[in-house]
Amino acid sequence: MSDVESIVKEALEQFSRAGAPAELEQVKARFLGRSGALTEALKGLSRLGTGERRAAGALLNAAKERIESALEARRRALAESATEARLREEALDVTLPGRGRGRGGIHPISRTWERIEEIFASVGFDIADGPEIETDWYNFTALNQPENHPARSMHDTFYIEGMHALGADGRSEPLLLRTHTSPMQVRYARMHEAPIRVIAPGRTYRVDSDATHSPMFHQVEGLWIDEDISFADLKGAYTDFLRRFFETDALQVRFRPSFFPFTEPSAEIDMMFASGPKRGQWLEISGAGQVHPDVVRNFGLDPERSMGFAFGTGLERLAMLRYGITDLRLFFDGDLRFLSQFD
Ligand code: DAH
């Protein structure tokens, strides 16, 4: 049966030449498949006599086992080398230096916002947040600026076309992008009991754009209402805030008479640094005043029993003074050369 020996030899040789699993399986079919060489030889056994058949059968079975185990071994070898090739291909050089991701930073306006919250929270003020799309009533009417009041023209307002809200009195009223954070005084006061001590920082909008105005900007509103809160408290609280914000006690504050429909009397708060590039100049920093009795009524409070002050300060103004920035548009251009200086 040298035939059998040569079939085995041929099979082993062809297995070892097969370079890929699919090729190996094809080669296998040539020997072990339904019409493969060994299968054919096994079929031939039936033609032999009993004695011969036993001897030849044993030989063929031994051959089959050798072919099968050679096939198994080749399968394993191919699988292993595939794994190795993949490992080689996907190898990482862990000694290479990293690519380095840029570290993000906090935007100077966000930083300013956080500082303001921290300072006021530390002296017992609550922090409130409210809608940027506001009703006409909260933005104007409740703050003592009824429809057609000339003071409304102080604000270049973005009205939302074709959208109205149902006001408290059942009348439909226009919606707009809030022009200041002052509507938060009314929203907050109507939801809380006096005494009230709150700041409400947030985004505000006006049709306005130049080096010191942007159509979107930020304000922080402050409100302190109790039985006997006076201008003296406003001056004390606000001066303390500015000294902490600018980290210097060498800073003076003055009130200048002004007009806001929602305060009476009203003041413009100016400040002056004793040192630094802006020393000796009075800088306008905030509007403020004693809350008008009509507005206190809109809070749902009795102006005979509750009084206090409010202020509204631009965040950009504070940030510009703190960091020495002269063009407000830089805050919103998204230029990393500017922004990364605050990391
Ligand atoms: N809302 C005013 C503005 O945007 C700023 C302001 C002035 C707010 C006086 C106040 C205030 O609360 O009392 O111009």
For residue 229, what is the domain's CATH number?
3.30.930.10
- Classify the C-alpha dihedral 330-331-336-342 as positive or negative: positive
Q: Is the CB of 204 under 6 A from ligand 1?
A: no
Which atom in ligand 1 lies closest to the alpha carbon of residue 154?
14
Q: Which protein residue has the closest C-alpha to ligand 1 atom 12?
A: 311
Distance CA 298, CA 261 (A): 14
Residue 100 lies in a domain: no
Whether residue 343 contacts residue 110, with contact meaning beta carbons closer than 8 Å, is answered with no
Q: In the listed set 40, 61, 89, which residue is the last one of a domain according to the structure?
A: 89
Q: Could you tell me if 82 and 207 lie in one domain?
A: no
Tell which one of 125, 196, 207, 262 to mutate to probe ligand 1, the residue whose CB is within 8 A of the most ligand atoms. Answer: 262
Residue 43: what pLDDT? 85
Residue ranges, the chain, pLDDT below 50: 1
pLDDT by residue (tens digit) across 304-340?
Answer: 999 999 999 999 999 999 999 999 999 999 999 999 9
**Domain co-membership, 275 together with 178:** yes
The residue contributing the CA closest to ligand 1 atom 3 is: 180
pLDDT of residue 2: 53
Taking a C-beta distance cutoff of 8 angstroms, is the pair 176, 133 a contact? yes
Pairing of strands 196-205, 126-127: parallel
Pick the closest to residue 12 from 56, 77, 57 (CA basis).
Answer: 77
With a 6 Å cutoff on the Cβ, whether 183 touches ligand 1 is no
Atom of ligand 1 nearest to the CA of 287: 7
Name the domain boundary from 55, 89, 123.
89
Our answer on whether the CB atom of 268 is closer than 6 Å to any ligand 1 atom is: no
Specify the pLDDT at position 44: 84
- Residue 210 carries which DSSP code? B
Assigned domain for 94 exists: no
Q: Dihedral (C-alpha) 142, 145, 146, 147: value to the nearest 10 degrees? A: -120
* Ligand 1 contact via 288 beta carbon (within 6 Å): yes
Instruction: Give the per-residue pLDDT at 343.
Output: 80
Same domain? For 126 and 180 the reply is: yes
116 & 72 share domain: no
Q: Is residue 324 part of a domain?
A: yes
Tell which one of 155, 157, 260 to mutate to probe ligand 1, the residue whose CB is within 8 A of the most ligand atoms: 260
Nearest to 299 by CA among 151, 134, 138: 138
State the residue range of the domain holding 80.
2-89
State whether the beta carbon of 238 lies less than 6 angstroms from ligand 1.
Answer: no
Residue 95 lies inside a defined structural domain of this protein:
no
Q: Evaluate whether 301 touches 189 at the Cβ level (below 8 Å).
A: yes
Ligand 1 atom nearest to CA at 267: 9
DSSP 93: -
Within this chain, do residues 211 and 286 fall inside the same structural domain, yes or no? yes
Is residue 250 in a domain?
yes
160 and 32 share one domain:
no
Q: How far is the CA of 220 from the centre of ligand 1 (A)?
A: 9
CB 308 less than 6 A from any atom of ligand 1: no
Tell me if 275 is assigned to some domain: yes
Are 143 and 288 within one domain?
Answer: yes
Taking the centre of ligand 1 as the mean of its atom positions, its distance from the CA of residue 39, in whole angstroms, is 99
Burial of residue 102 (CB within 10 Å: 0-12, 13-18, 19+) is: exposed
How remote is the CA of residue 58 from the centroid of ligand 1, in Å? 106
Ligand 1 centroid, distance to 287 Cα (angstroms)? 5
246 and 290 in a single domain? The answer is yes
Question: Using CA atoms, how far apart are residues 144 and 139, in angstroms rounded to an integer?
Answer: 10
Amino acid identity for residue 9 in this structure: K
What CA–CA distance (Å, rounded) separates 176 from 163? 9
In a domain? residue 330: yes
Distance 266 CA to ligand 1 centre (A): 9
In angstroms, the CA 203 to CA 119 distance is 19
Out of 37, 57, 89, a domain closes at: 89
Is the domain of 189 the same as that of 335?
yes
Residue 221 Cα: closest atom of ligand 1:
12
Residue 22 shares a structural domain with residue 138 = no
For residue 221, how far is its CA from the centre of ligand 1 (angstroms)?
Answer: 7
| Beta carbon of 263 within 6 Å of any ligand 1 atom | yes
233 and 118 share one domain: yes
Same domain, 50 and 188: no
Residue 103 forms part of a structural domain? no
User: Counting beta carbons within 10 angstroms of the beta carbon of residue 255, is it exposed (0 to 12), middle (13 to 18) or buried (19 or more)?
Assistant: middle
The residue nearest atom 7 of ligand 1, judged by CA position, is 287
Cα 310 from Cα 313, distance rounded (Å): 10
Q: Which pLDDT belongs to residue 103?
A: 81
DSSP secondary structure code for residue 86 in this structure = H
Token reading at 133: 């799309």
Domain count, the chain: 2
